Structure 1
């Protein structure tokens, strides 16, 4: 055994890191603040070849891992197909990837209801302060604890989030709840609606229990909606009047906010997206921000996934980026004599890539807020349609 590494955060990025490091001979302990396993999140994920290779490299079977889509279609406001192109791709869900990774990590290495609150370097080791009041010592610490990373806050000043000017509404609908004529119209493809203000994409994903067979799948809807700062404050205000910072937990979103979104969908979206959105049990929203940490490491502590760089979802690279972060980190630890040297090499390799992906995501995000609010309201003639359809949720870098 090469040494003992703590991982703060037991979501997909943390699990990838733990499994990659374990494969390389490290002892690993994962601390996750949520009490139970992180299942049921349901959001869609578009796979890329690097993600599939990363999964295979840590022993995850790729059989029945997702749903195949064959083409990309653009619809106008009236449900008419504006354009169509072949674009084979495998799409899956957050649940599917998480469950496959979680099943491979021994239970005794994964501690729920426990978070990393603080840490300090002591004589080449890391003393990790945990929420249960204990202090444990490790050879290294990996912060895979998301955008609000407590690990990062120790060596990088907490950033003022750069709000993009729009939010994303997400909804997941069981295939059985969608009427046959609606399902036939758009379910099996990767579909777009691209007006000059806003954007919608949708595609099939595995079912609630990770089923991929026809009839048991779900449909994933992603609706980008321009939202002013004042409107955002209202969206982040719960029933008690508390305004949440950055984002609001889905159960705390006021019912009237959801009802307003449903009414807006009926007015603004093509009929198939509007009807599917209404079938969703619990649509939820997330404001869109940008952040790339100026440093990915400090001595024998490093950052991974969203803790290192929060990328807008247009590129569909969040999970893939976390997976590649984990594999790069493992490779650097193999190739360098000390942990600090390995982490510096990891920083040098991954930070430029994160910045490049971030720039692509900002470019695609700029189309959500078209300069002419009166133009292309029906989504039939977006001037950048080809670029949007060709580059959304792809790893074409």
Structure 2
């Protein structure tokens, strides 16, 4: 691409927005990130399964060691209800925390390109430009607007107001606990492993992630539980009577719900996972939904990541999908020599196919493991992956071995 590249607004400054900004900046675009939050986002989210595409930018553009942002799991283990080992196999999975990856990406973007407190409320576009109207009255214009504003996407709502999340019928309870000081059963059975427990109508997993601040490793856990829509209303209402939409942050869940969760863990989970749930101080809740759009672009406005397709977590590909969308968009802009309409026309069909396929596989895996009860430990179709099951596995030395009991 020659000359000055297109002016691009990235609406949303989370992981997908940062990767989009870095990729497009390096492709020659004049990039600005518009983030509605007034403070940086370090403390948000929990554990993330790393895929090669997620860290592709970091590894390609700098002398970056992925182990700086990752905690490895060398074993995939399935537990019985009594806590015994049902199946175990060697893996090479890498996990990170939201805050760790966010910080690594943010430090690579110039501060004057990242604008906090910038809330998009409307878009006006013509064949040549897009005006982004902000809540404070500003109205900058750009050649391209990228909606990277996640599951609650304003840009998606402006393009497709009829699209709404579809509740999957269950929630994910989440929490973390430092590996140092972890209860004894949990420390023995869970440390350094990706651990699953699957039973009719429920499943839980745990895996290591980097500590949110400083050295060390935490164990991140997720427990999926079916919740009737009427009960969901009560669960997602905090102690101040505020109804939360798709997530309830740590510390906001009412005490009676946390107490009920811990009591259920003692009777429904294997002892190591029950110990971990009971020890974690502030569990939080994510409502599991499906979201998919009919198009990923309208004119000079496009959607990436969860703004276009919000996937159930079971294939662990949400952040990877955002990264794949961003890299493909950067390549399309370079190939089109900065011609935005031509770039979008080349980019959209492939990313639509990827998004639809990932959404369908995440839905299918979730239904099998949580609703239908047809999941079988070790089934390769159920493995994490974006482009195909198992494609997030990082290369490692040594032969794979599987042991069953």
TM-score (norm 1): 0.91
Contact 2:6 2:340 in 1 (8 A): no
Per the alignment, residue 267 of structure 1 pairs with 267
Preserved CA contact (<8 Å) 2:173 2:222: yes
1:13 corresponds to: 16
* CA contact 2:185–2:272 (8 Å) conserved in 1: no
**Match of 1:37?**
40
Count of aligned residue pairs for this structure pair: 383
Deviation for aligned residue 1:41: 2.6
Instruction: Return the offset for 1:255.
Output: 1.9
Partner deviation per Cα, 1:115-149 (whole Å, 9 max, x = no partner): 11111014511111112211111111111011221
In structure 2, what is the Cα distance between the partners aligned to 1:187 and 1:222? 15
Match of 1:385 in 2: 377
Q: Which residue of 2 aligns with 1:105?
A: 109
Indicate the RMSD between aligned Cα atoms, in angstroms: 1.9
Aligned pairs for 1:243-254 (under 5 A) are 243-254=243-254
Displacement of 1:47 in angstroms is 1.4
The answer as to whether partners of 2:23 and 2:327 remain within 8 angstroms in 1 is yes
Q: Distance in 2 between matches of 1:48 and 1:208?
A: 20
SS of the aligned residue for 1:237 comes to: coil
Structure 1 distance, partners of 2:372, 2:35, is 43
**Deviations 1:184-207, CA, capped at 9 Å, x for gaps:** 222111101011221111111111
Contact 1:156 1:295 in 2 (8 A): no
Distance 2:35 2:360 in 1: 30
SS in 2 for 1:325: helix
**TM-score w.r.t. length of structure 2:** 0.89
Q: Are 2:224 and 2:370, in contact at CA under 8 Å, matched by a contact in 1?
A: no
1:309 is displaced (CA, Å) by: 0.6
In structure 2, the partner of 1:191 is 195
2:212 maps to what in 1? 208
* Residue 233 of structure 2: aligned partner: 233
Corresponding position of 2:284:
284
Matched-pair contact (CA < 8 Å) for 2:131–2:140: yes
2:139 maps to which residue? 135
Q: CA deviation at 1:25?
A: 0.9
Distance 1:285-1:141 versus aligned 2 partners, 3 A rule: same
The aligned counterpart of 1:340 is 341
The whole-number CA distance in structure 2 between the counterparts of 1:67 and 1:241 is 38
Distance (whole Å) between structure 2 residues aligned to residue 357 and residue 54 of structure 1: 22
Decide which of 150, 153, 156 is 2:157's aligned counterpart. 153
Q: Provide the rounded CA distance (Å) in 1 between the counterparts of 2:359 and 2:327.
A: 20
Higher mean alpha-carbon deviation, 193-202 vs 151-160, is at 151-160
Q: Which moved more, 1:114-123 or 1:241-250?
A: 241-250
Further displaced range: 116-125 or 346-355: 116-125
Displacement of 1:250 in angstroms is: 4.1
Aligned mates of 2:284, 2:322 — CA distance in 1: 23
- Contact in 2 for aligned 1:314/1:365 (Cα 8 Å): yes
- After TM superposition, list the pairs within 5 Å mapping 1:274-353 onto structure 2: 274-336=274-336, 338-353=339-354
2:363 aligned with 1:394, yes or no?
no
Q: Which one is further off, 260-269 or 72-81?
A: 260-269
1:64 is matched with 68
Q: Residues 336 and 158 (structure 1 numbering): CA distance in 2 closer, same or farther, change over 3 Å?
A: same
What's the counterpart of residue 2 of structure 1? 5
Deviations along 1:134-187, one digit per CA (max 9) or x if unpaired, are 111111111101122111222212323211011001111112230345312221
Counterpart of 2:403 in structure 1 is none
Distance 1:127 1:364 in 2: 40
Q: Structure 1: where are the runs of 5+ without partners?
A: 373-381
For residues 41 and 60 of structure 1, the distance between their equivalents in structure 2, rounded to whole angstroms, comes to: 27
- Of residues 18-27 and 84-93 in structure 1, the stretch that sits farther from structure 2 once superposed is 84-93
- 1:378 match: none
**1:26 corresponds to 2:29:** yes
Cα distance in 2 for partners of 1:280, 1:245 equals 23
The offset of 1:75, in angstroms, is: 0.3
Q: Where in structure 2 are there 5+ consecutive unaligned residues?
A: 390-405
Residues 274-329 of structure 1, C-alpha deviation per residue, up to 9 Å, x if partnerless? 11112212110011000111110111111111101100000010111111110001
Q: CA, structure 1 residues 135+60, in 2 after alignment: closer, same or farther (shift >3 Å)? A: farther
Which residue number corresponds to residue 51 of structure 1? Answer: 54
- In the alignment, the residues of structure 2 paired with residue 371 and residue 188 of structure 1 have an alpha-carbon distance, to the nearest angstrom, of 30
Rounded Cα–Cα distance in structure 1 between residues aligned with 2:271 and 2:63:
39
Distance verdict in 2 for CA 1:370–1:130, change over 3 Å: closer
Indicate which of 171, 177, 186 corresponds to 1:173. Answer: 177
> Could you tell me how far apart the structure 2 residues matched to 1:207 and 1:295 are?
38
CA distance in 1, matches of 2:198, 2:381: 13
